[in-house]
Amino acid sequence: MSNFNLPNFPVSRLRRLRKTANLRDMFRETHLTRNDFIFPLFVAEGANFKREISSMPNMFQLSIDNVLRECEELLNLGIKSVLLFGIPDFKDETGSSGYASDGVVQKASREIKKNYPEMLVITDVCLCEYTSHGHCGVIENEYVQNDATLELLAKQALTHAQNGADIIAPSDMMDGRIAAIRKILDENNFQETPIMAYAAKYSSAFYGPFREAAESAPQFGDRKSYQMDFGNSDEAMREIALDIQEGADIVMVKPALSYLDIIRRTKDNFNLPICAYNVSGEYSMIKAAAEKGWIDGEKVMMETLTAIKRAGADVIITYFAKEAIKLI
């Protein structure tokens, strides 16, 4: 039985509350705010380095000095959260530069918190950016070994916390990694450091531009044995439930736009903050179509971000953050 037992037309006229801009604004159900956005940053080694990512207009690989300038701009705009991805000079089979105490993300976290302590620093925990093969864990016989990878992810997470990260965000999709990370953090007096789990991360073609940005494309095969199949919804609920049981404080759905139903199911089933990642392919498609003049880029951007929040996301990781906040 429907809860919407309204009188029929002409007594009910829903257009009454759409008549003017003031009416529409007053009764809009979903509003974007400056607190909704997390801005991703791609941190490279060296100094005075800034390279635009060809498939992601207005996004850059940045050395730490330029990351600090970016943080100042973000704070001036009202964006108070960043997500760091590392681009190391050195890669090997086990991604050792990812869990080195002087790794690029570790150094960037330290410098951001030193210069802009009010900036919330979230660090991506995964090995794909640091391994020579581009996969998210230890390889044996061209297959990612789940349990052998957990120790390395835990080490990486600990070095991030030790260098000032406010939130640890594991994106690898290994089974049991939230428990392993929670354990090592708690054992080292980081009991109050939250974990934002990439809980329902799908194996998606929408990640294409990101792999250029993070230089993390797999050198063989694909990631379908550890990232989720895009046809599955019930499995996402199981993944999220397991991550919560293991100690996740925030859960993430990635990508966002093609998975609004998963965001909604997560909202309906779990009483936990939800993050959605408006990924690189979603960003680049809108940018490309706008450049061609096929769509109004600003309007589609705002409609997209509002849809993600309307579906149930509490926060949104998005490359649009700097543009969107100016229109709120």
The Cα–Cα gap between 94 and 79 comes to 34
Which of 41-50, 71-80, 131-140, 293-302 has the weakest average pLDDT? Answer: 131-140
Residue 287 has pLDDT above 60, yes or no: yes
Which of 15-19, 136-140, 186-190, 276-280 has the weakest average pLDDT? Answer: 136-140
Per residue in 248-270, pLDDT tens? 999 999 999 999 999 999 999 99
Tokens matching residue 321: 């953050």
The Cα–Cα gap between 251 and 270 comes to 10
Residue 136 has pLDDT above 70, yes or no: yes
Per residue in 160-191, pLDDT tens? 999 999 999 999 999 999 999 999 999 999 99
Average pLDDT, the chain: 93
Domains of the chain as residue ranges with CATH: 32-325 (3.20.20.70)
DSSP H stretches of helix in the chain: 21-26, 64-77, 104-115, 146-162, 177-187, 208-213, 234-246, 260-269, 280-291, 297-311, 321-325
Which of 128-137, 179-188, 194-203, 220-229 has the weakest average pLDDT? Answer: 220-229
The Cα–Cα gap between 320 and 38 comes to 10
Quickly count: other Cβ atoms within 10 Å of residue 284's Cβ. Answer: 22
Tokens matching residue 217: 């494309």
Per residue in 208-233, pLDDT tens? 887 777 566 666 656 677 889 999 99
> Is the distance from CB of 256 to CB of 278 less than 8 angstroms?
yes
Q: How confident is the model at residue 194 (pLDDT cuts 50, 70, 90)?
A: very high
Q: Which residue has the tokens 């649009």?
A: 320
User: What is the share, in percent, of the chain residues with pLDDT greater than 70?
Assistant: 95
> Is the distance from CB of 277 to CB of 255 less than 8 angstroms?
yes
Residue 220 has a pLDDT of: 63
Residue 1 has a pLDDT of: 47
Per residue in 63-110, pLDDT tens? 999 999 999 999 999 999 999 999 998 888 888 989 999 999 999 999
Catalytic (active-site) positions: 201, 254
Residue 135 has a pLDDT of: 81
Q: Helix, strand, or coil here: 7?
A: coil
Residue 140 has a pLDDT of: 83
| 203 CB burial (10 A radius; 0-12, 13-18, 19+) | middle
